[in-house]
């Protein structure tokens, strides 16, 4: 029996295409079935570990320390969140997402990983935490691969919350569509449209909330997988405007 399982796993690994391997493997292995369900929530299929490494690696490079407070906007089922919770001191991680199913999956992940003692906070929120986070402020706010699913009015609402949520020296990081890329205003993923924000348009919105925007370059420079088209996305840093 063990030999059959080993041969089957070797066969799965030999199949071309991560998505196809996951599609076939999930039919037979419960662990792959669970992983496939998580991958579908965040996309692309088959890159969970690589994207998790990208998220924690990027934030550590950007200055995240164990004692910092982190707000993860659009946390989903905790692809990056699990790594953040492991790394941060207890009570320092907060994740919010608009989908109840994603937050439910996140709690399942926390329990499965035995991370309850880290006391993470997870909330369903359709207002970027306005109604759920009270007066809490954060050293880092992370918004991976979500800004381009927000229209201008939603970006304005997000930036209004950043003005309230960022600690005095806090920093926000999120990415927008970069080029070359085949994404257009008519592209969709998971029921969400794509919005092709520019640095200038975001700076105009940020200015209304006394925030400043800086382009840090393509996310591939921060460890994003080279074989995913969105590697050309631009990573932005948003901070409070320094007093004159």
**Domains annotated on the chain, with CATH:** 1-46 (no CATH), 48-240 (3.40.50.150)
Per-residue confidence (pLDDT) for residue 16, from 0 to 100: 46
pTM for the structure as a whole: 0.85
SS (H, E, C) the chain: CHHHHHHHHHHHHHCCCHHHHHHHHCCCCHHHHHHHHHHHHHCCCCCHHHHHHHHHHHHHHCCCCCCCCEEEECCCCCCCHHHHHHHCCCCCEEEEECCHHHHHHHHHHHHHHCCHHHCCEEEECCCCCCCCCCCCCEEEEEECCCHHHCCHHHHHHHHHHHHHHEEEEEEEEEEECCCCCCCCCCCEECCEECCCCCHHHHHHHHHCCCEEEEEEEEHHHHCCCCCCHHHHCEEEEEEECCCC
27-36, 133-142, 158-167: the lowest-pLDDT one = 27-36
pLDDT digits (tens, 9 = 90+) for 195-232: 999 999 999 999 999 999 999 999 999 999 999 989 99
Does 6 have pLDDT greater than 50? no
pLDDT digits (tens, 9 = 90+) for 151-174: 999 999 999 999 999 999 999 999
Per-residue confidence (pLDDT) for residue 39, from 0 to 100: 78
């Amino acid at each position: 029996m063990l030999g059959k399982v080993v041969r089957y796993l070797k066969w799965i690994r030999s199949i071309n295409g991560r998505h196809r391997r996951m599609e076939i493997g999930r039919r037979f292995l419960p662990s792959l079935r669970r992983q496939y369900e998580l991958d579908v929530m965040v996309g692309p299929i088959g890159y969970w570990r690589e994207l998790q490494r990208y998220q924690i690696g990027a934030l550590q490079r950007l200055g995240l320390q164990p004692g910092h407070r982190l707000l993860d906007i659009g946390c989903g089922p905790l692809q990056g969140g699990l790594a953040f919770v492991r790394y941060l001191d207890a009570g320092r991680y907060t994740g919010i997402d608009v989908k109840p199913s994603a937050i439910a999956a996140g709690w399942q992940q926390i329990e499965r990983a035995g991370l309850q003692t880290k006391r993470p906070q997870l909330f369903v929120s359709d207002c970027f935490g306005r109604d759920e986070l009270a007066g809490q402020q954060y050293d880092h706010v992370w918004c991976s691969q979500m800004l381009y699913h927000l229209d201008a009015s939603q970006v304005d609402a997000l930036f209004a919350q950043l003005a309230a949520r960022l600690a005095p020296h806090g920093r926000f990081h999120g990415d927008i569509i970069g080029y070359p890329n085949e994404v257009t205003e008519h592209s969709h993923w998971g029921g969400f449209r794509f919005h092709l924000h520019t640095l200038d348009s975001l700076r105009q919105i940020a200015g209304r909330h006394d925030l400043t925007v800086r382009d840090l370059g393509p996310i591939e420079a921060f460890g994003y997988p080279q074989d995913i088209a969105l590697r050309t996305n631009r990573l932005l840093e948003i901070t409070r405007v320094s007093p004159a």
